[in-house]
Amino acid sequence: MSAKAISEQTAKEFLYKYICTSAAVQNRFRYARVTADTDWDRLTQDHPWLLTERLVVKPDQLIKRRGKLGLVGINLDLQGVQKWLERHLMKETTIGKAKGVLKNFLIEPFVPHTQEEEFYLCIYATREGDHVLFHHEGGVDVGDVDAKAQRHMVAVDEKLSEDQVTEKLLTHVSDEKKGALASFIVGLFSLYEDLYFTYLEINPLVATQDGVYILDMAAKIDATADYICKPKWGDVEFPPSFGREAYPEEAYIADLDAKSGASLKLTLLNPRGRIWTMVAGGGASVVYSDTICDLGGVDELANYGEYSGAPSEQQTYDYAKTILSLMTREKHPEGKVLIIGGSIANFTNVAATFKGIVRAIKNYQVPLKEHEVTIFVRRGGPNYQEGLRVMGEVGKTTGIPIHVFGTETHMTAIVGMALGHRPIPNQPPMDAHTANFLLNASNSAVTPAATRTASFSEPKTSSDSCPAKKTKAGLPAEAQASSGCSRAKATTLFRKNTKAIVWGMQTRAVQGMMDFDYVCSREEPSVAAMVYPFTGDHKQKFYWGHKEILLPVYKNMADAMKKHPEVDVLISFASLRSAFDSTVEAMQYPQIHTIAIIAEGIPEALTRKLIKMADEKGITIIGPATVGGIKPGCFKIGNTGGMLDNILASKLYRPGSVAYVSRSGGMSNELNNIISRTTDGVYEGVAIGGDRYPGSTFMDHILRYQDTPGVEMIVVLGEIGGTEEYKICQGIREGRLTKPVVCWCIGTCATMFASEVQFGHAGACANQASETAVAKNQALRDAGVYVPKSFDELGDVIKTVYDELVADGTITPAQEVPPPTVPMDYSWARELGLIRKPASFMTSICDERGQELIYAGMPITDVFKEEMGLGGVLGLLWFQRRLPRYACHFIEMCLMVTADHGPAVSGAHNTIVCARAGKDLVSSLTSGLLTIGDRFGGALDAAAKQFSKAFDSGMLPMEFVNKMKKDGKLIMGIGHRVKSINNPDMRVQILKDFVKQHFPSTQLLDYALDVEKITTSKKPNLILNVDGFIGVAFVDLLRTCGGFTRDEADEFVEIGALNGIFVLGRSMGFIGHYLDQKRLKQGLYRHPWDDISYVLPEHMSM
């Protein structure tokens, strides 16, 4: 959500820190917070004025009218405050329907004043601007300030002046106070704007000859502006409304939400309740709560929440396990139900999210059965059939009763089943598999002819209020001459030939649009180009039917607009941080008449600026916080309508007679489903977005539909919050709306809750009685709108109205023609399990695809938890085993002793020469590594093979030495240039001591040491060197550690695993030499002449 209430202490802290006014603001920062844990001695040390002044004490828990409720202690000394708190602190109190415990209190200095010195001041935001209310009589008995107060609206992008304040607001204030109050109000308004407040009320505001005192203050700020205001806000705490506890699980989900691009929300209503929900979608979550309450479950409803925006499997798992953990803490005598519901997803892979839920159910299967939990599932969207299948399977394998339903079942039908109001079907009907809609049985590559006219009412000429004047493509509006009349917003937003630019590298959404275009028999794709500032100009590959086409991608918008003058729609997938700037830029081009803003979380103040600019330029904005809209047979925005299976199932490839407008993107897809099942289909549908101030309103689109001949009836899905639905009533009364309207406002459950609940959409919050869903539904019903009794009956009402229109001849259903087919993408066919293909690569050591990196089956977090070290990781990646601790330590010792052997050896020499030639690290390291072989460093494998073969064949050490001499072969791993039997290599000695102490058996090492005795008797430097020692010791390790069969151990030797130890270890030394040469700034190496023997051929020297 956006507008969130803050505590009085936080609000005053912001005011005292940042207000800029000539008025003397008194008692700055003079407040003290008290809780049950307060140390009074420490408190009086920090605030010594508590001991000397008269005081006021009151709860700071978002409670309104505290004075009227007797919750303010006035004109007390500190002892009086403490006695007052004894009666109130940690005491349960009932305020209205909310029952809660008073935990947080604020103590401030008492301000002596007269009634004439009390004033009322309030600033709040609306779509058009910010309203400033001022009344010369403040305090607890202020009454109906809306009727009494002087008011002035400051329009969006305008400023408030002291003269305006004095003239419009201070007419009943004495002259001596006008100056200070005017300055204070202007300063407060600037603070309100700068810190992105949405509501700010001071009552009373006291003005005396000493200055201005802020006695009581209530405020809300736009939480989405955190990325702008963080330096001033700091870490803001948003307290829960009174009557609702703040639970750590809510904070955990809020933290997940903040770190995710998806939306994750959780509010606990009654942790002991038996009805729990896990609903996908902001709008759908409200509908499910409404239905539960309508069916009498309000007292047993345990939680409100939603997950949406394509969360990952891990995020869904974390969310689900939190719900399951909460619901399995206390048993309920009737058992419990979990409703896993949702509308038809537009782009979320249902199977992927269900995998996270399934994993959580498996982990909690024991407590779920102990608490007698029954689960009801209903979902639709991409790959939903597979999601439902795995959900059904987990029910069978765990023994938990899980009832699974798809799009063939009404969205909220499972609520009636769960609460015992309707029977549970034994075998619910299942819709066809996705593949049946998508796979083309025909070999024809020709685009099929149009199956139906794109629209019953395509206008032949422009519907603008004045003739369109041809503009120069790509030039901003201010660079072109005025057309002589203001541009009116178009009635028809999308046509069969509409072209769009997509801002953002959203290839999946663009491909979805092109597939929709193809199945609608458009002649050309609706996407002309993409804009992505983070790469250079290039081409992106997409499919048009079976063919591959290239779509231009531009770095800047100006080039895209100039090269594509036919474009009149911009679809912006810009992030919440960049959406404002990119939209402002797009509105400078007069060719653009529609902009869809997908991003959620744009600060309201910025959205209002966009709305004002769009209204001035005659541009229609859809969004923000929307999936977009769709016009069957013509055009769809981004991911609207879901994938092709849903497009075809809901008959969105051709127009019907019903137009709809909704706030929710997910619920718009549900409306597509409902309308397709009850009427001849959708003519056009728009999801205006869930923010408080959507770019276009319900009435903007309803009036378009009223003026569009092809639309015969209108469906509206409104919701709690705002007053836009009342304009429908006004339109009907004034005769502006004559077509039948079916409307239902979701959020009826809000009036049944004891405390305020913020629903999934930012705008879904009633600030007054008229904004409740119940009040709006009744007003619509009274005005003649067709209003069902609940969302459950919405489809029935739509069908009744449609049937009446067919009966009276208003609608003549067209003959249904099969749509053209579109080849399925390979990736999606594979996701559905319809095809198989040999993989180009196989790997068995690592998997990075999930939420966590996995080494040979072990999550990386476990690798660190168990302190496996480098040797353990090498064991996982090289040998696919968890090696014993001594084996891991031995590997690390081998890496240490082979790390370097000075600059004179060939590998180090090559690395140094390369480094001094100015080559980079990788090139220098590679130069050194290329010298490794049988003659340098690569003797580990060869030594292991020779000694193993001799030992395994039963040769005596002397026989082995004699055979190698007879064959004229060197014994690998024997001999050292410097070290000898009299000057032993300490590296070998260290390793030998460790191996003898820890290895269970050292047969091959003992054999090699016997060979060493024979060779050193002939020449003292023919010792078992470090390469040979590591080679034979590793064979003993592989054969005797218990982790490998004999064949597996021999295979690792054969494929070169042991040489890898030397390569990995010596790489550390080579890198060290490279860095050393760079650090010493050594120049190009040239070998000295006196170290070269120049030997010419004999015939030349003669």
CA distance 859 to 849: 12
Residue 429 structure tokens:
């009907």
Residues across the chain: 1102
What values do phi and psi take at 141, rounded to 5?
Answer: -100, 25
- What's the one-letter identity of residue 150? Q
Q: Is 820 exposed, middle or buried (0-12, 13-18, 19+ CB in 10 A)?
A: buried
Number of Cβ atoms within 10 Å of the Cβ of 852: 11
Measured CA to CA in angstroms, residue 587 lies from 475, 493, 559, 596, 723 at distances of 11, 16, 15, 12, 28
CA distance 186 to 460: 53
- What's the one-letter identity of residue 833? G
CA distance 635 to 653: 9
SS (H, E, C) 461-475: CCCCCCCCCCCCCCC
Measured CA to CA in angstroms, residue 811 lies from 655, 706, 709 at distances of 13, 15, 11
Token pair 């000898």: residue: 980
Residue 151 structure tokens:
């008011």
Helices 986-998/885-897 angle, 10° precision: 180
CA distance 691 to 760: 10
Residues assigned a catalytic role: 761
CA distance 387 to 365: 19
- What's the one-letter identity of residue 414? I
- Which residues touch 299 (CB under 8 Å, ≥6 apart)? 270, 273
Do the beta carbons of residue 307 and residue 257 sit within 8 Å? no
CA dihedral 45, 49, 51, 53 (to 10 degrees): -170
Residue 277 structure tokens:
């929900």
Token pair 């987990």: residue: 394
Number of Cβ atoms within 10 Å of the Cβ of 940: 30
CA distance 690 to 281: 11
| Cα of 351 vs its chain's centroid, Å | 18
What values do phi and psi take at 318, rounded to 5?
Answer: -60, -40
Of 342, 347, 307, residue with least CA distance to 642: 347
CA distance 190 to 288: 41
